[in-house]
Structure 1
């Protein structure tokens, strides 16, 4: 499976959240290392796995609620 890796800045633009909110509030409370993001080559840089982040955002959302706008 091909994954789409995004920097914090790129993720910020996709989900319309400030980079700081992602780093300080979402990372390690909603988005977890090894599941939603990785640190390639043991470095400091973080790359988010878009498909996993998107799954997390949509969990609990049914097709009916999307159709009715709830």
Structure 2
């Protein structure tokens, strides 16, 4: 299977997130180098790995919906 590499602008358009939000996620270590993105030839440019990002987005969404909310107790 061949991976799809996206620039920050292309990823932004695909997932409908602002470019600044994506860059903040890089700083917050939500997007991990080597898993979600890489720097070709050791340069500054970043290419995102679409299939891995998509898989992790769906995993996080299904995990969040599987966790039941706790009932509040009156004291």
Q: Place the TM-score, normalised by the shorter chain, in its bin.
A: 0.7 to 0.9
1:1-70 equivalent positions in 2, closer than 5 A: 1-24=1-24, 26-28=25-27, 29-60=29-60, 61=62
For residues 56 and 15 of structure 1, what CA distance do their matches in structure 2 show? Answer: 13
Consecutive aligned runs of 4 or more in structure 1 exceeding 2 Å deviation = none
Question: Considering only CA atoms, is the larger Rg found in Structure 1 or Structure 2?
Answer: 2
Where does the alignment leave 5 or more consecutive residues of structure 2 unmatched? 66-75
For residues 48 and 21 of structure 1, what CA distance do their matches in structure 2 show? Answer: 14
Q: CA RMSD in A?
A: 1.5
TM-score (norm 1): 0.81
TM-score (norm 2): 0.76
Where does the alignment leave 5 or more consecutive residues of structure 1 unmatched? 66-70
For residues 57 and 15 of structure 1, what CA distance do their matches in structure 2 show? Answer: 10
